[in-house]
């Protein structure tokens, strides 16, 4: 999907149907603005040159300072992503996130820091609640939920709920 179509889809997902609502969402919706920052960075990271590198540095600084989030431009994020409270979210380099995923504040997707550097794979229609940590090459199945303050170190099956430290599925 092209960049402009993806941005329009993100606007539509935020509830913007009319041109008036799209303008308001574009200017003031923090969740959309964070998603837009990622989409632009992801698009530009594939087209690197000296000028693009400067723009990428600016976008990354803006993401860190304005939103308090660190979302890698090498991560792959599907359509209709939603950040209800976009503060303190960290998404590592190799993370893959599917479509229709909701991620609340202070969620971290990272590696274990080993030589393999494997990152999480999150399937579609997943909800990840505040302060959850998803670490290593784990897979979160479709329609799964990860509870608040959970530490996920093992795969979560489809339609399951993971809660606790370390997380156990129900």
Digit-by-digit pLDDT tens for the chain (170 residues) are: 789 999 988 888 887 778 888 889 889 999 999 999 999 999 999 998 999 999 999 999 999 999 999 999 999 999 999 999 999 999 999 999 999 999 999 999 999 887 778 999 999 999 999 999 999 999 999 999 999 999 999 999 999 999 999 999 98
pLDDT at 126: 98
**Residue 52 to residues 36, 44, 72, 170, Cα–Cα distance (Å):** 16, 6, 16, 46
CA distance between the termini of the chain: 36
pLDDT at 59: 95
pLDDT at 73: 96
* Count of Cβ atoms closer than 10 Å to residue 19 Cβ: 8
pTM for the full predicted model: 0.91
Closest residue by Cα to residue 139 from 164, 117, 109, 166: 109
Burial environment of residue 4 by CB neighbours within 10 A (0 to 12, 13 to 18, 19 or more): exposed
Whose structure tokens read 């274990």?
112
For helices 50-67 and 30-45, give the axis angle rounded to 10 degrees.
Answer: 160
pLDDT at 69: 96
Strands 90-91 and 108-110: parallel
Identify the structural domains of the chain with CATH numbers, from first to last: 3-169 (2.160.10.10)
Alpha-carbon span 19 to 116, nearest angstrom:
46
Alpha-carbon span 164 to 155, nearest angstrom:
14
Alpha-carbon span 14 to 8, nearest angstrom:
10
pLDDT at 141: 97
pLDDT at 22: 86
Question: Is residue 58 within 8 Å of 84, Cβ to Cβ?
Answer: no
Question: Is residue 135 within 8 Å of 118, Cβ to Cβ?
Answer: no
């Amino acid at each position: 999907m092209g960049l402009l179509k993806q941005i329009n889809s993100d606007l539509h997902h935020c509830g913007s149907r009319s041109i008036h609502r799209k303008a308001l969402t574009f200017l003031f919706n923090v969740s959309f603005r964070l998603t837009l920052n990622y989409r632009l960075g992801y698009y530009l990271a594939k087209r690197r040159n000296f000028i693009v590198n400067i723009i990428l540095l600016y976008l990354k600084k803006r993401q860190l300072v304005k939103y308090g989030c660190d979302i890698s431009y090498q991560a792959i994020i599907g359509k209709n992503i939603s950040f209800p409270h976009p503060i303190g979210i960290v998404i590592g380099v190799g993370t893959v996130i599917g479509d229709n995923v909701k991620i609340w504040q202070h969620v971290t997707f990272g590696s274990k820091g080993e030589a393999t550097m494997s990152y999480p794979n999150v399937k579609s229609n997943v909800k990840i609640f505040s302060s959850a940590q998803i670490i290593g090459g784990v897979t979160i199945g479709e329609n799964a939920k990860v509870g608040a303050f959970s530490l996920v170190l093992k795969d979560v099956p489809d339609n399951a709920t993971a809660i606790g430290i370390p997380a156990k599925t129900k």
